[in-house]
Chains A and B, each alone.
Chain A
Amino acid sequence: MSDIPLQIDGQEVSAKEGTTVLEAAQGMGISIPTLCHHEKLEPFGGCRLCIVEVESRGWTKLVVSCVYPVEENLVVRTRSDKVDRLRKTILELLLAHAPDAPQLVEYAQVYGADKDRYEKDPSFCVHCGLCVRYCAEVKKADALGFVDRGIRKEISFIPEIAAKECNACKECFPLCPTSYLQAAFVLTESLAFPSSSAKSVSKA
């Protein structure tokens, strides 16, 4: 694996071939906001918050850094005016779904995002896919997945698998940026396998 030289926010770095711009930036201590990124999981490119401006061969374009591999002599700007403006809008759109998500509120302060800019659509899930991907890639349990598409897309547990696997695991719970996952689980539990929730209550 050869090292590829590139420039991030004015600093020269070299990164291994195949690493992403996000990883290269994090490696040199530059923080890029992310929501759907998790080091144990495959890049997803779902939340678009890690958007950066890259310049190669005289052209600049906006790319999602978590799925963009490093290129030779690439010039990356992680905080240009354009990038900040886009991140602000992306945050405002996400906040329309989950106005009180702590991580979103924190980023909103940094980028001056107004949580009331867009009409509220409190679905709470922001489709970051962390729970779905963690369950599939790390736990290999596949207890929950996405169903439907577009504005109706949501996460859904498979009750038969969830009844067996979830009470002992729940490792996806702290990953969820909005706490919607916990709510979805409680709902599935109370509808599909209430006996086990009764047990866990009596234990507590």
Chain B
Amino acid sequence: MADDRAGRTTAPGPAHWVSGLVPDLRRDVLFPIGGSLVSFAVLVGGGLAYVALVGGSSDRLVTAMLIDAIAVIGLQIYIGNTGVLSFGHIGFGAIAGYAFAIAAISPERKARWIPDAPFGLTDVQVSPLVAVVIAVVVALAVAVIVGIGLARSGARSGAVAASVITLALLFVTHEVAANWTDLTGGDRAPLSFAIGETLESRAPILAVLLGSLVAARLFAQSRTGRLAKAAREDNLAARAMGVDPASQQMAALLLSVVVIAIAATLRVYEIGSVTPRVFFFEYTLLTLVMLIVGGRRSIAGALVGVVVITAGRELTRRLATDGYEVAGVGLDGTPADWVFREGLPTVFLGLAMLGFMILRPNGLVDDWELDEWLHRRLTAEARPPETQPAPDAGPSRLLEADAITVDFGGFRALSAAGLRADSGEIVGLIGPNGAGKTTLVNVITGIVFATEGRVSIGSTDLTRTPTHEIARAGLVRTFQNLRLFSSLTVRQNVEVAWFTAERYRPDGLRPTVDQLVAAAGLWEQRHRRAAELDYGNSRRLELARAAAAAPTFLLLDEPTSGMSDQESLAMIEQVRTTASSVGAGVVVIDHDLGFITGISDRIYVLDRGAVIAEGSPDRVQADPAVQAAYLGSAADSIETQQPRGVES
């Protein structure tokens, strides 16, 4: 720890970062592994202690809980990191479970249940381990197809389409399992292992549990995991920082399906048989409840959820078995009351959903992680890094948006408008509301495609290029209505864009994440969530985040909207220093004349979708067409409208 402290008190240079895959060996590898070991020990130790204490049927209960834990970790990897509510992961489990059973069950038993299985599967038998591999591969193959479909549908947090597609997957697998009886035996003839052939030892379950805990935590801390979480928080902002959410989501999906598939094979192997209902709605809901009640955004939450729900169900089941009386209905544990034994845990499940959701809408532990907490406690407070003097900017490049025309239905938002900016200058874009300023920036950053016209940086044509590729090419924007990754910390917000710089702009000027955070005056707040920042700090963070992508050009959409005059002035300073620290040119939109004239080297004036004037601030202000457009009939009063607080 001593060297780490030394490494932290000096400015963390590029050597501090291990590679593009994992940002920080200690924080993102060692601690997660250590934390996983601790959670594993607590979970398994607690379970075994319960077995030792109670004995009897509790043995199977704990085994089932550990398998559920693996499945819920698998769910968390996808749902937690991407924010997409998937109903279909247990469907992948069904595929893997059947693949495993069909491959591992002996031909003699299969001849009884599925004598006419296609592809000669009746006569196949492999060892359980090979069968697990087969099950994972089959589930992965389906996951790739589903993943492509999800990407096509624009899956993101809150996307209904993605939830429907996954729900459909669950039902399709169930229908196939129930009705393709030649292959699966259907509802009537459950595929089952011979007695004595099922899973006897708990060791494989423990090994898989530990492995999936570690895998899930490492994934969450990896570059891919962090980018996925950024896209979970704000899909568009992530794309504008150079993140391609589809590829991060695919990675999360495949890893989660591997974990779920193995959990499913263990479940089948432990139960000893598989029927369509083993992996259907009931298990989907149970695992989802566990995850969401515990806290879908963290592995700690997943485990807490598994324990709380398992314990609650067990407790109510025992209550119903051993006898009690509540609200006039009671029983003394006689066998006739099986309905109660079935019903009470269900009531608990329902009330747990209602109660926990009302009290803790983001789950019991929300996004708390054990290893992150330990890391914060065991790491010395770092001092803010020195800001390095800005090195010389590279060769200047030209941003050109040429003759851009945009039609929204019958409305022409832009007609042959355009601008040019050199990477050494600050260009202002001004115009009354509805002039088409934001539309122009949206076209330049690929959020809106132009009907006609061309966008390029230097010799690179960026017309009709997806947003994330434009960001990677060096054009990074901020948003008028603040789009931060609100549940990530200040530092993590900056880090997301920094990853883009590291991978796609290795030659650009790159201050470290900590330098960027410190330069924005956010050092003290670097471990706070972005959502907790006040408005001015949020604006500053957005600028720092954009700069972290080492852009050639920064496009700032109304960076001072909602700010006081004083804050606007400070913002002018921050924009200038930030731009020079990464050697970026700036295109800034605003309708505040004072701000724009105070900051810009050149100004474009947009009105009703067309550029009506261009030139130095003085020249533009004196232009009669600008005065007419900007101030309407009161054009002559522009002299009295002195730019606020700006000496001209």
Q: Do A and B come from one complex?
A: no
